[in-house]
Every structure is written in C-alpha cells, then in structure tokens.
Structure 1
C-alpha cells in the first residue's frame, strides 16, 4: 500500500478515499479509480473467492410426492419436463440481460426438480 488514509484497512476498499477497489488491473498492483492510489498485489494475497452453483441436483422422487406436491418453487404453468415428462413446472423470471432485451425464465419441474432456462 502506498499510503494510509482515514478509512479502515479493508482489502475491498481504498484506505485513502473509501471507494470500492477494482480487481487486479495490471500484474502486481491495483489502482483506485477515484484517488488513483496504487496498492501492491501482496495486500490481496489472502483473498480467496469460491463460487458454487447448484443446478439439476439429484433428489429422491417417489410416486406419492409426484402426485401430492405441495411446495412448488414459484407459480406453476403447464410445461412438459424434458427429463421426466411431467406436464407441470414452476417458474421464476429475472432481468439478466440489458433492459432492451427480454427476461430470462427459470423453470423447475414440480416432480423431479429438473431446471432449465429460457431467454424470452
């Protein structure tokens, strides 16, 4: 770090101006966009990021819980599941792309929990 400032020393924020620091831009340093303070890469060596995405996990399905499913993950529509052939799927929507493009619809089978997406 080049110089201490009034803010606490968190590796996600600039110690001088408090702005959020970008990811490593150049090999060996990070430069604050707001005040242009430069930080050495050693300040970020203890940071570790781990992401886990669970998609289409396997679950035990019996004949009883297929017919008597009381806890769908959202509104239910008539849509055939490509995995088990059930004709009902729950759905949720999110705007993941830019505002002038359609939303992304996430479908989950009521019976087997198979998940699929559709860009509408």
Structure 2
C-alpha cells in the first residue's frame, strides 16, 4: 500500500491533497488530480445542513402558523442600520439605510434611505 503524503481533512484527497468532487450516486469519488478512486469514507463525518426560509404569507391553512399575525408598519424591523436623517415626507428624525454599487467601480455607491415611521424611500448617489 502506498504511504500517504498528506495529513488530509475530510473532502480532500489523502494521496495528493486536492479537493475532491461530490460523491457519485454509487458512493465513490475519483480525484480530479491523481485519478485515484476513493470510497465515501474519505469524506469522514462531514454533515451538510440546510435551512430553508419560506415566506410567512400563505393562504394554505395547513402551512400557516397559528401564532402568525400581520405586522403593522410601525412593528416592522428597520431595513438596515439606523442614521439620524430627517424624512422629507413626515419629518421623522430616524431613517434606515443600505448601500449598493450601481454605477461603475470608479464612482461612488448609491445609498437607499427608508423612513422608520412612514417607510418613505429616497436615494442618494455619493
């Protein structure tokens, strides 16, 4: 038997150290680099967990949670970090903001402000 050159982590080839592709349906895997075939034990105790978040708005009574209630505008969480900025519509002194690079990389980003009280939205190019 060939001596291993690497102390490898699960998901990496124990012979050459390359990252391994996903398991095939037969439970085996072939290294892209050294072409050695390995069984599923090469992945060790790796576990993949998925969290799927569904929309809470549904008409299906079997899916709808019994304690679900519609939040009013005032109960909703802010859409981002808060900043002291006067809303031009209702004169509230607090707005949330988020940023996004919409224009070319050598230009400033676009800032989206949302009033925490009336949900008025405005943008600013910086």
Question: Does 1 or 2 have the higher relative contact order (CA < 8 Å, sep 6+)?
Answer: 1
Shared fold, TM over 0.5? no
TM-score, length-scaled by structure 1: 0.44
TM-score, length-scaled by structure 2: 0.42
Structure number, greater radius of gyration: 2
